[in-house]
Amino acid sequence: MKQRTFVNPIEWRGGVVRIIDQTRLPVELKYEDCTTVSEIWRAIKKLKVRGAPLIGIAGALGFLLGMHKARSKDGSGLLKEAKRLRAYLASSRPTAVNLSWALARMQTIVEALADRQKEEVFCELKSEVERIIDEDIQMCFKMSEYGSKLIRSGDRLMTVCNAGGLATSGYGTALGVFYRAHEEKKKIKVYACETRPLLQGARLTTWELMHNGIDTTLICDNMAASVMRGRNISAIFVGADRIAANGDFANKIGTYSLAVLAAYHKIPFYCVAPFSTFDLSLPCGSRIPIEERDIREVTSLYFKKPIAPAGVDVFNPAFDITPHELVSGIITEKGVIRRPFEENIKAIYGESVKNS
Ligand code: MRU
């Protein structure tokens, strides 16, 4: 079984961070080298790199880049720089907890090596990023194994946004489940919701699925209910940006609507996410910060062509919260968590708390 698809969305290349600029897909597969921390910050903010696990990895690589360029050679100077980098990079996007989780891991290394020289600290930081990436690859692989068990040959599946190789270290969470089922020779068909306003479903998910040989059909978001009924959807799999202690979770705007529709149509609704996406310091979903983005994402297609009258009032939250009551199971690298979520999440992840 593969542990990465054909995409490698981010990597460290001897002093620069190479990313795939996802805003250009599917028209062109263009790599971009980020040479400064502010370029990484902008790449995250502008969704050149996106998806919760990948945002965490990008943050860690941005931190590594910043420490690589740090003027201080040791101790308190490096620690000061680490604190500044952590706060700055964390400010790029607020909802995906993977970002603050990865940055906290990086800062812990700097704190633990406060008496060492810069070169040694840098080597350890580089190893930590490699560990974060390796762990992500392993977690995606394990999730795909558990998730695929819930899929039978002949199933018609649905997803929203992009929770694939492009959103992780290369395999995916929700899409990883589909890849695994496909590799196991199950015959599946996937309906991808386009995901307004930035069309991650239309641009990225269909691109990825098609490249991986999956039978894919693109639908507009407002077709989901008819497709669930008319095309007999078997199950829905989505990713997550942050999961609270009671199992409520934030994911791309439109996820909550799908969960409500799935409950009405009695279709199993699964969230697929690794430990790095859990935030056990938050008791429930209403505490998850929801990013609001530039209104031009709604009023004009890619900021080019107006599709709404100038001056119209716009609300543009990038995420919504799906309450745990609507969730059939949370597929993690440690197995599928079912109701009662609060108890079972605690049993699996203990008292671990994210540093935000
Ligand atoms: O705004 P985006 O494109 O970063 O939103 C991404 C999502 O909502 C994904 O579903 C989520 O991050 C999980 S990715 C494995």
User: Counting atoms of ligand 1 from 1, which one is nearest the CA of 168?
Assistant: 15
Is 127 in the same domain as 148? no
Instruction: Answer yes or no: are the C-beta atoms of 5 and 164 closer than 8 Å.
Output: yes
Distance 227 CA to ligand 1 centre (A): 23
State which of 47, 144, 200, 258 you would mutate to test the pocket of ligand 1, scoring each by most atoms of that ligand within 8 A of its C-beta: 200
What's the CA dihedral at 224, 226, 230, 236 to 10 degrees? 20
Is 15 in the same domain as 122? yes
The pLDDT value given to residue 293: 97
Looking at 140, 166, 195, which one is the last position of a domain? 140
Distance 160 CA to ligand 1 centre (A): 9
Examine the residue annotation and report whether 241 is marked as an active-site residue of this protein: yes
- Measure the CA–CA gap between 186 and 3, rounded to whole angstroms: 18
Is 151 in the same domain as 127? no
Domains contained in the chain, number: 2
Is 169 in the same domain as 97? no
Is 215 in the same domain as 280? yes
What domain range is 40 assigned to? 10-140
Is 178 in the same domain as 294? yes
Looking at 113, 140, 167, which one is the last position of a domain? 140
- Reported as a single tens digit per residue, the pLDDT across 290-321 is 999 999 999 998 778 999 999 999 999 999 99
- Measure the CA–CA gap between 320 and 343, rounded to whole angstroms: 23
State which of 161, 198, 255 you would mutate to test the pocket of ligand 1, scoring each by most atoms of that ligand within 8 A of its C-beta: 161
- Ligand 1 pocket, residues with Cβ under 6 angstroms: 47, 50-53, 96, 161, 163, 167-168, 173, 200, 239-241, 251-252, 318
User: Counting atoms of ligand 1 from 1, which one is nearest the CA of 172?
Assistant: 15
Q: Could you tell me the end-to-end alpha-carbon distance of the chain, in angstroms, rounded to an integer?
A: 35
What's the CA dihedral at 274, 277, 279, 283 to 10 degrees? -80
- Is residue 307 one of the residues assigned to a domain? yes
Is 350 in the same domain as 212? yes
Minimum CA distance residue for ligand 1 atom 8: 252
The pLDDT value given to residue 40: 98
The pLDDT value given to residue 351: 61
- Measure the CA–CA gap between 102 and 324, rounded to whole angstroms: 25
Low-confidence ranges of the chain (pLDDT < 50): 355-356
Is 162 in the same domain as 287? yes
CB contact burial 48-62 (16+ within 10 A = b; e otherwise): bbbbbbbbbbbbbbb
Minimum CA distance residue for ligand 1 atom 6: 51
Looking at 106, 125, 140, which one is the last position of a domain? 140
Distance 74 CA to ligand 1 centre (A): 37
Is 80 in the same domain as 90? yes
Is 96 in the same domain as 182? no
- Measure the CA–CA gap between 193 and 200, rounded to whole angstroms: 9
What's the CA dihedral at 205, 206, 211, 213 to 10 degrees? 110
- Reported as a single tens digit per residue, the pLDDT across 81-132 is 999 999 999 999 999 999 999 999 999 999 999 999 999 999 999 999 999 9
**Which two three-digit tokens encode residue 30?**
């263009």
The pLDDT value given to residue 352: 58
Q: Counting beta carbons within 10 angstroms of the beta carbon of residue 147, is it exposed (0 to 12), middle (13 to 18) or buried (19 or more)?
A: buried
Question: For residue 330, which phi and psi values (nearest 5 degrees)?
Answer: -110, 115
CB atoms within 10 A of CB 76: 9
State which of 162, 269, 331 you would mutate to test the pocket of ligand 1, scoring each by most atoms of that ligand within 8 A of its C-beta: 162
Active-site residue among 136, 241, 248, 279? 241
**Which two three-digit tokens encode residue 311?**
């001056």
The pLDDT value given to residue 152: 98
Is 121 in the same domain as 150? no
Stretch (H or E) spanning 121: helix 118-148
Is 243 in the same domain as 109? no
Domain of 270, CATH number, reads 3.40.50.10470
Distance 194 CA to ligand 1 centre (A): 13
Distance 129 CA to ligand 1 centre (A): 20
